[in-house]
Amino acid sequence: MAAIERLIETKELKTNWWFDLVASKRVRPHYYYNEIVDSFTLLFVDPNTPKIVHYIDDYVALLYHPDSKEIIGIRVESFVRGFLPLYSVLEEAWRLRGKDIELHNFGELAFEVKKFEPVVTNELSKITRGLAEKRGLALPVPA
């Protein structure tokens, strides 16, 4: 990937809101996977909130609010084709691999999805934390 010109340095992004969110466990994230462009977005705010994309590596971007510079989400490009194969725990949760799941109806499917949402969120947060630290930004990881 060509060098990405960033609007600001990664370490200038604010993490106060994210640290408070992790500590309080009060917000359930919004998930969005776009199969056409193979991107996965995890937002901790209303999806209509204005946001700027700030890449921290070839796949992962932090989404931040333009006014406050507070991080409000994560976006991963080439999610299934490039990113998932690099992280087996996340890939397992995403694909429900290794799970002995027998679904009989939509309700059971919804239950299984809800069960694995925290795993996807936690693993993606851990991965993002490691990438952000390389750029001088400390992020929390949910317990």
- Per-10-residue mean pLDDT for the chain, 143 residues long? 69 82 70 92 90 94 94 94 91 68 62 67 86 86 59
pLDDT at 72: 92
Residues β-bridged to residue 64: 52, 71
Nearest in space to 60 (alpha carbons), one of 142, 143, 132: 132
Q: What pLDDT score does 56 carry?
A: 92
pLDDT at 99 (0 to 100): 56
Give the per-residue pLDDT at 96.
64
SS3 call for 102 = coil
If 0-12 CB within 10 Å is exposed, 13-18 middle and 19+ buried, where does residue 81 land? exposed
Query: What pLDDT does 108 receive?
Result: 62
Token pair belonging to 107? 């309700």
Q: Where are the beta strands (DSSP E) in the chain?
A: 30-34, 39-43, 52-55, 60-64, 71-77
Say what the pLDDT of residue 44 is.
Answer: 85
Residue whose entry in the numeric block shows the structure tokens 């499917």? 109
| pLDDT recorded at residue 34 | 93
Q: Report residue 56 as tokens.
A: 């921290």
Distance separating alpha carbons of residues 52 and 143, to the nearest angstrom: 27
Residue 16 burial (C-beta neighbours within 10 Å; 0-12, 13-18, 19+): exposed
